[in-house]
Each structure stands twice: as structure tokens, then as C-alpha cells.
């Protein structure tokens, strides 16, 4: 087990991206004081694209301060908590080491890593960079989606205990690297389905494996 810190808690409200009609919840701002996390995430946080965001397996999006430190050099400025649309910004970990099944304990709250963030055109529009999807993907610093195993209040400044998953170690960075691979190695699929990966991906991988026999 290692220990980090909750650097920021951020929520978003529906707002349009300049030049686009549709509204989005990706613009998240840090909030002061305690915020309650439930099984569905943060009640006041806007999630407008339910097809790709939210739900029990993606209730909370976590981004890591160590990854933001990398982006500070790439972008020429230091991103503030919530800049990438995450709910929680955590120090003491990064996308290269955090794996599916790892858990974060923050006071009463217990989160379990289920998947990585996949960049989209909304994210690119928010960043004002048409090349952002490829740029973000190449960096392999996606942050982590989490399910909520135990709800409760959280607040910036709280300690975060990082509990490693005891089974197959598949980092969110490694998982993201297969987004652009047409034929994912069967050994990887077999490893992945032994972890608490999100159910949508588990079904996809198990269907692929079963089709071979």
C-alpha cells in the first residue's frame, strides 16, 4: 500500500463548447468543502453523454497529479484540478503504475479502478486542439475510471491510501495502448477478464475468446 493526497474535487455543470451547439459536462471546476460520492458518482456533477460516461463502472474519473506534471511540460502551463474533466485529482500515483482492480481509500470512500479514459472530440474541442485525441493517446496517460465500492464524503486535502490489486497487473496505460490494435493478443484478453475490468469491456473480451472455440 502507498499513500497519496486528494489534490482536488471537481464537478461540472452543463455548458456549450464555443462553436458547438451541444452542451457538455467536461468543464469541471474545483469545489471547496465536503462532496458526497455515491454509487453513481457525485450527484451535482453533469454527465450528459451517458453512452460513454457515467454508470456504475465509470462513476468517478480520477486523474493523477504526476501525469499533470508531465502535461505541464507539454502544454507550457500547469493544468489545474479538473482541467481534463476529472472528478478527483490525486497525487502519489500515475497512469503507468495504476492497474485495473487497484483501490483508492479516501476516508469512508472506497473506489476500484475499472478502465481508462478514452479521448474524444469533445475533449479535443475543450482543449482547443484538433490533434488532441492522437496527442493524448500517444502520451498513454489516460487517468482511471472507478466504480464506488463504499460511498461517503470527500474533500481536497484528504489522504488517499492506494491499495494494489493482487491479481493480474494491467495498468490503465497498457489497456489504453490496445485501443488502436485491431487484433488484441489472446493472452492479454485472458489476463484482462480475470480482473475487475468494467463489464462492457469484459463482455467484449469474453465474446471474442468464446468465438475461438
Packing angle of the helix pair 132-139, 65-75 (nearest 10 deg): 130
Q: How far apart are CA 61 and CA 54, in angstroms?
A: 9
Q: What is the per-residue pLDDT for 171?
A: 98
**Segments of the chain with pLDDT less than 70:** 48, 51-52, 213
Provide the pairing of β-strand 159-163 with 103-106.
antiparallel
Count of CB atoms within 10 A of residue 179's CB? 12
Check if CATH label 3.65.10.10 holds for domain 2-180.
no
- In this structure, are residues 142 and 63 in contact, taking their beta carbons and an 8 Å threshold? no
CA 28 – CA 9 distance, rounded (Å): 9
- Output the pLDDT for position 197: 98
Total Cβ atoms within 10 A of residue 172:
28
The residues near 73 (Cβ < 8 Å, ≥ 6 apart) are none
Q: Is the dihedral of CA 90, 96, 98, 99 positive or negative?
A: positive
Strands 23-24 and 28-30: unpaired
Phi and psi at 93, nearest 5°, equal: -155, 170
The pTM assigned to this predicted structure is 0.95
Beta bridge partners of 41: 38
Displacement of CA 191 from its chain's centroid (Å)? 20
Per-residue pLDDT at 20 = 73
The pLDDT of residue 17 is: 82
Contact 161, 105 (CB under 8 A): yes
Alpha helices in the chain (DSSP H): 65-75, 121-127, 132-139, 172-177, 186-192, 199-210
For residue 99, the 8-state DSSP code is: B
Amino acid at each position: 500500500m502507498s499513500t497519496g493526497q486528494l489534490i482536488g474535487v471537481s464537478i461540472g455543470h452543463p455548458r456549450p463548447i464555443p462553436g458547438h451547439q451541444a452542451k457538455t459536462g467536461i468543464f469541471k471546476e474545483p469545489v471547496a468543502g465536503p462532496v458526497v460520492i455515491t454509487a453513481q458518482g457525485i450527484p451535482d456533477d453533469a454527465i450528459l453523454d451517458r453512452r460513454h460516461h457515467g454508470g456504475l463502472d465509470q462513476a468517478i474519473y480520477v486523474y493523477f497529479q504526476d501525469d499533470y506534471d508531465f502535461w505541464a511540460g507539454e502544454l507550457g502551463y500547469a493544468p489545474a484540478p479538473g482541467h481534463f474533466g476529472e472528478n478527483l485529482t490525486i497525487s502519489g500515483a500515475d497512469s503507468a503504475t495504476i492497474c485495473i482492480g487497484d483501490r483508492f481509500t479516501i476516508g469512508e470512500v472506497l473506489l476500484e479502478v475499472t478502465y481508462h479514459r478514452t479521448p474524444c472530440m469533445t475533449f479535443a474541442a475543450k482543449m482547443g486542439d484538433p490533434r488532441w485525441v492522437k496527442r493524448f493517446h500517444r502520451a498513454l496517460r489516460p487517468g482511471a475510471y472507478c466504480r464506488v465500492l463504499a460511498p461517503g464524503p470527500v474533500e481536497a486535502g484528504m489522504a488517499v491510501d492506494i491499495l494494489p490489486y493482487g491479481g493480474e497487473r494491467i495498468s490503465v496505460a497498457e489497456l489504453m495502448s490496445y485501443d488502436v490494435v485491431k487484433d488484441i493478443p489472446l493472452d492479454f484478453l485472458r489476463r484482462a477478464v480475470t480482473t475487475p475490468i468494467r463489464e462492457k469491456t469484459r463482455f467484449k473480451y469474453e465474446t471474442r475468446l468464446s468465438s475461438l472455440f
